[in-house]
Amino acid sequence: MCPKSSGLGLVQVYTGVGKGKTTAALGLALRAWGRGLRVIVIQFMKVGEDYGEILALKKLSGIDLFQYGRDQLIIKGKHTEEDVRLARQGLKKATEALSGKKYDVVILDEVNVVTHFGIVTAEEVMDVVRSRAPGVEVVMTGRYAPQPFIDEADLVTEMRMIKHPYEAGVLARAGIEF
């Protein structure tokens, strides 16, 4: 039996090039919230309310959401000082959330990508994750999970695209892809 099996406090990573990483994390957030757990979602490299899940979260009372990104696509190797500043603000918020005083589940959405892009380092993120209070569950999402995240995690799920309607010319659909 896992020594942590009596409660919360594990690290989960959702990664891969397939669709569904954020969706899975938000499904877990909904499940945790439904059981009375206190949940925070910290989104890196995202901003705005044009996503169906953001619109839903804003209607729910009890899942806190914070976004740290600019309203434009970031290309690897072309991030700005503003991107770095926002990511560091997100890490600061994560440090506060992981202190154990207010939240049971902390979701770091797209944190894998922010490290892959070199905006913050995997070591900086792992220092924050390792500083969490006992019993605080952490979920880290995004493509390109770095090896330190995988090594530290208790659960790693890789989403793999086998087929996607985009390949047949179907554009992103409100309520399904965003």
Q: Collect all residues with Cβ–Cβ distance below 8 Å to 119 and sequence separation of at least 6.
A: 44, 45, 74, 79, 83, 84, 87
Cβ count near 125 (within 10 Å): 25
Say how far apart CA 13 and CA 32 lie, in whole Å.
Answer: 17
8 A C-beta contact, residue 45 and residue 170:
no
List the structure tokens of 28: 């877990």
Q: Which amino acid, 69?
A: G
User: What share of the chain has pLDDT > 70, as a percent?
Assistant: 97
Residue range 121-141: mean pLDDT, rounded: 97
Say how far apart CA 40 and CA 68 lie, in whole Å.
Answer: 13
Q: Flag whether pLDDT at 6 surpasses 70.
A: no
Summarize pLDDT for 154-167 with one digit per residue, the tens. 999 999 999 988 88
Summarize pLDDT for 73-83 with one digit per residue, the tens. 888 999 999 99
Domains and CATH numbers, the chain: 12-133+142-159 (3.40.50.300)
Residue range 48-61: mean pLDDT, rounded: 87
User: What share of the chain has pLDDT > 90, as a percent?
Assistant: 76
Summarize pLDDT for 77-102 with one digit per residue, the tens. 999 999 999 999 999 999 999 997 89
Residue range 12-33: mean pLDDT, rounded: 96
Say how far apart CA 138 and CA 159 lie, in whole Å.
Answer: 18
Say how far apart CA 105 and CA 111 lie, in whole Å.
Answer: 15
8 A C-beta contact, residue 59 and residue 93:
no
8 A C-beta contact, residue 36 and residue 30:
no
Q: Flag whether pLDDT at 3 surpasses 70.
A: no
Q: Collect all residues with Cβ–Cβ distance below 8 Å to 102 and sequence separation of at least 6.
A: 38, 40, 96
Say how far apart CA 117 and CA 38 lie, in whole Å.
Answer: 30
Q: Flag whether pLDDT at 4 surpasses 50.
A: no
Q: Which residues pair with 14 in a beta bridge?
A: 141, 157
Mean pLDDT of the chain: 93
